[in-house]
Structure formats: C-alpha cells, structure tokens
C-alpha cells in the first residue's frame, strides 16, 4: 500500500473545504481573536487635535528667553474644552494630552520652570514646536489601519479603537461537530463494566479545535453501530457545521464502524506518520468529514497536523501551520525510518539553549498527555535520534 506523506494528506483535507467564508460585522469587544474579512480604515485622526506631549506650560515661542516671566492665564486638562487663548507674554498650564490653546506653539515642561501659578519663570529656552503632538501626525482619516486577513489581537484592537473604528467585518468562527466512536466508551465518571473505558477523545478534540478558533456545536460519543454513526452525522448536518471530526473506526478491523458506515463517502488511506497512520476524509452530503484514529495520542497528533490547519483555514487565517522550534534532544530514541514520527516531549529552555526530553512512546498513553508540551517531528529516513541532535518541535503549550 502506497502511503501518503503528511503534507500530501493535509493538502487533501484542505482541498475539500468550502471556498466560502461566513462573515459578520461585530463591535470591537467581540472581535478579539477573529480574522478581519475587510480592511479597516481610520474614522478619526490620531491625534485628533494638536495636544501637549508633556505636563507644562503652553506658550508662544517668541516670548521664550531664559529667565523670562509670563502671566498664567488659564489651565487646560486632558479632555477639557477650553476657550482660553495664549497672547503675548502669557502662558497656560497644560496637562499631557490636553488640546493646545489657540496662540500657543510650544510646551515648556514644569521642570524647566519655577512651576508658578499666577506668573511662571522660564528657566530654559526650547526650540519652537517642542513637546507638541500635531494633528494626524500618526494617522489621518481614511488611512488604512488594519488590512484584511489580519488576526485581531490586543494591540490591533487598541489601534482600531484609537482611530474611531466601532465595528469590523470578521470571518465567522467555523462550526464543528466532534464524534467519537466506540462501544467500549463511557462518559467520564460513569460506572464501568468489563472491557469499558472512559471516553476522552471527544473532550480533547473539541478543546483542541476550540483553541484553534472553532465553535463546537455538537460533541457526542456513539457505539460501533452504523446507524448510530449515520444519525450523528445527520445531526451534524442539521446543525449546519463546516467540518466533522470523527475519531476511531478508521482502520481495517472487524469493528471499525466508520469504515463500515461510510465506505461510500469517505476515502480511507494510510499516511506515512507515526502515530496516526490510518486516516479518512471525504464529503458526506456537502459537509467535509475528517476521520482520525481512536488511540488518544494518535488522535491528538492527527488533529494537530490535519484538523487544526483546516480550522484555521476556515477561520480565514493566512498562516495555518504551527511554526516549529529547533531544539536539541536531551537523550536519544528510535524512530521508524519509513514514517514521519511525532514524539511527545517536554521542553526546557535555558541559557544553554532549548532542549527536548522525550516522553514514553505509545499511541494509547492517554494519561501521559498532560505532560506533553510539544511534538518533536522526526523526518522520514531517520531511524534514530541521538543526544544533541537538533529536532523541530511543534510547541503546543
């Protein structure tokens, strides 16, 4: 059987996603983490008016000379509306951010004066225009503030708000269904019979895709029965999801129910990776479905390299794969040279560099997932990693 590479399978997953992206206009306080679907332009100039860059005295530069005294004719604070005007031989006390009074062209900081309240002595002469922020010196009305496709983070929010933007057009968060299969699965805390285990995949996968920016509108676990799988998919379709993630039942065993129930809809393939070799994908109706292995570590890796990029693409992100960190192996481990191996690791960053410490192997080791900080990616053709070798790491926490 010819195995796909990880990159090839990721491209197949992305190729079946719909081209359309749902968009919605939202107020700024709902835009954090969303991707802009349209550019945002300034509605207000920054600064909106000439204002003081320091606490001090607004004066006319022609009146400045060392030792000169000026009459203090007013006080202007930030946000105040003042009609005071600076005339010959006059000064106005002004606070940082306050609008520059008419007639003034320079601000002398308090520390360069005697801080007088009725008359002020000037102890140093500054160049004209000093300590003034000029109207629109940062942004003019109509300037592009943020281009389309940018993820709205905290600093972007500040820029949008400061330029008078009240709402933005964003790409909607993709809607996902997560379906875990297995007759042996029971909800966490439920009494367990012979051969039964707590179900963890749907919780893990739902959390992973939510961290990537999706809304999980359906999360369920179903037994190894074709009708149960098909009913769950009907529910997903009714919920108008953008993507379904199925875990378990994608291999070639007697009870691999996803293969049995959806043989006419999904393609079942082998990918040259470990863990996570058996994968499935296809359209059920018009809904893209990705099937990942049921073993928890294999499921986690599969979501990282296939589902997470799909979620980011659906959400409008430009960068859909996680950047890799180069780190050194603290000890060696073996690798299957015919596959791309994903090894669970802990990270250590010190003045001597970045190191990875491999965790115990095994795609079934659900209890060890809490210790995973990253996946070390060992390329095909490598049979062993030695201490000190550099490896690329996908840092997940």
pLDDT (tens digit per residue) in 290-339:
999 999 999 999 999 999 999 999 999 999 999 999 999 999 999 988 99
Per-residue pLDDT tens digits for 197-252: 889 999 999 999 999 999 999 999 999 899 999 999 999 999 999 999 999 988 87
| Mean pLDDT value across the chain | 94
317 vs 349, more confident: 317
**Residue 330's pLDDT is what?**
94
The arithmetic mean of pLDDT across residues 68-84, rounded, is 91
Q: Which part of the chain has CATH 3.90.105.10?
A: 23-46+137-171
Domain 51-133 class?
mainly beta
What's this model's pTM, rounded to 2 decimal places? 0.85
- 254, pLDDT greater than 80: no
**Residue 188's pLDDT is what?**
85
Strand partners, 9: none
d(CA 4, CA 268): 11
Q: What token pair was written down for 347?
A: 């990270």
Q: What token pair was written down for 245?
A: 């993630």
d(CA 312, CA 174): 9
Q: Which part of the chain has CATH 2.170.190.11?
A: 51-133
Residue pair 353/379 in contact (Cβ under 8 Å)? The answer is: no
Per-residue pLDDT tens digits for 355-377: 999 998 765 666 788 899 999 99
Percent of the chain with pLDDT over 70: 97
CATH number, domain 6-21+173-314: 3.40.980.10
**Residue 185's pLDDT is what?**
83
Q: How confident is the model at residue 77 (pLDDT cuts 50, 70, 90)?
A: very high
Q: Which part of the chain has CATH 3.40.980.10?
A: 6-21+173-314
The arithmetic mean of pLDDT across residues 35-46, rounded, is 97
**Residue 28's pLDDT is what?**
97
User: What contacts 297, CB < 8 A, 6 or more positions away?
Assistant: 275, 344, 362, 363, 364, 365, 366, 368, 369
- 130, pLDDT greater than 60: yes
**Residue 362's pLDDT is what?**
61
Q: Which part of the chain has CATH 2.40.340.10?
A: 324-395
CATH number, domain 324-395: 2.40.340.10
- 37, pLDDT greater than 90: yes
Q: What token pair was written down for 236?
A: 């997903």
**Residue 157's pLDDT is what?**
98
The answer to whether the Cα torsion of 111, 114, 120, 121 is positive or negative is negative
**Residue 192's pLDDT is what?**
85
Looking at domain 23-46+137-171, which of 3.30.70.520, 3.90.105.10, 3.30.70.330, 1.10.260.40 is its CATH number? 3.90.105.10
């Amino acid at each position: 059987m010819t195995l796909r590479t990880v990159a090839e399978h990721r491209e197949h997953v992305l190729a079946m996603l719909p081209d359309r992206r749902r968009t919605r206009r939202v107020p700024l306080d709902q835009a954090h983490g969303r991707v802009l679907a349209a550019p945002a332009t300034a509605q207000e100039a920054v600064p909106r008016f000439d204002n003081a860059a320091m606490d001090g005295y607004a004066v006319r530069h022609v009146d400045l000379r060392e030792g000169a005294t000026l009459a203090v004719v007013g006080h202007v604070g930030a946000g105040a509306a003042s009609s005071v005007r600076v005339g010959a031989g006059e000064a106005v006390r002004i606070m940082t951010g306050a609008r520059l009074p008419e007639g003034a062209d320079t601000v002398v900081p308090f520390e360069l004066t005697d801080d007088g309240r009725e008359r002020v002595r000037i102890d140093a002469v500054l160049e004209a225009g000093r300590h003034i922020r000029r109207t629109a010196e940062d942004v003019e009305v109509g300037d592009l503030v943020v281009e389309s496709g940018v993820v709205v983070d905290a600093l972007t929010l500040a820029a949008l708000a400061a330029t008078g933007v009240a709402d933005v057009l964003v790409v909607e968060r993709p809607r996902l269904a997560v379906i875990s299969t297995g007759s042996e699965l029971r909800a966490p805390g439920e009494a367990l019979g012979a051969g039964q285990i707590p179900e963890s995949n749907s919780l893990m996968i739902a959390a992973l895709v939510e961290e990537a920016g999706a809304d999980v509108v359906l999360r369920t676990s179903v037994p190894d029965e074709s009708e149960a799988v098909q009913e769950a998919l009907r529910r997903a379709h009714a919920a108008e999801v953008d993507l379904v993630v199925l875990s378990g039942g994608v291999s070639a065993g007697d009870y691999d129910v996803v293969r049995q129930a959806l043989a006419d809809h999904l393609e079942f393939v082998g990918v040259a990776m470990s863990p996570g070799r058996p994968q499935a994908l296809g359209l059920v109706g018009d809904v893209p479905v990705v099937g990942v292995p049921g073993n928890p570590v294999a499921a986690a890796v599969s979501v990282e390299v296939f589902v997470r990029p799909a979620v980011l693409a659906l959400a409008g992100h430009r960068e859909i794969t996680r950047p890799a960190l180069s780190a050194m192996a603290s000890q060696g481990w073996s690798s299957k040279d015919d596959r791309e191996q994903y090894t669970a690791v802990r990270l250590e960053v010190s003045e001597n560099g970045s190191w990875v410490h491999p965790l115990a192997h095994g795609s079934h080791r659900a209890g060890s997932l809490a210790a995973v900080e990253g996946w070390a990616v060992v390329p095909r053709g490598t049979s062993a990693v030695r201490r000190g070798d550099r490896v690329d790491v996908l840092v997940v926490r």
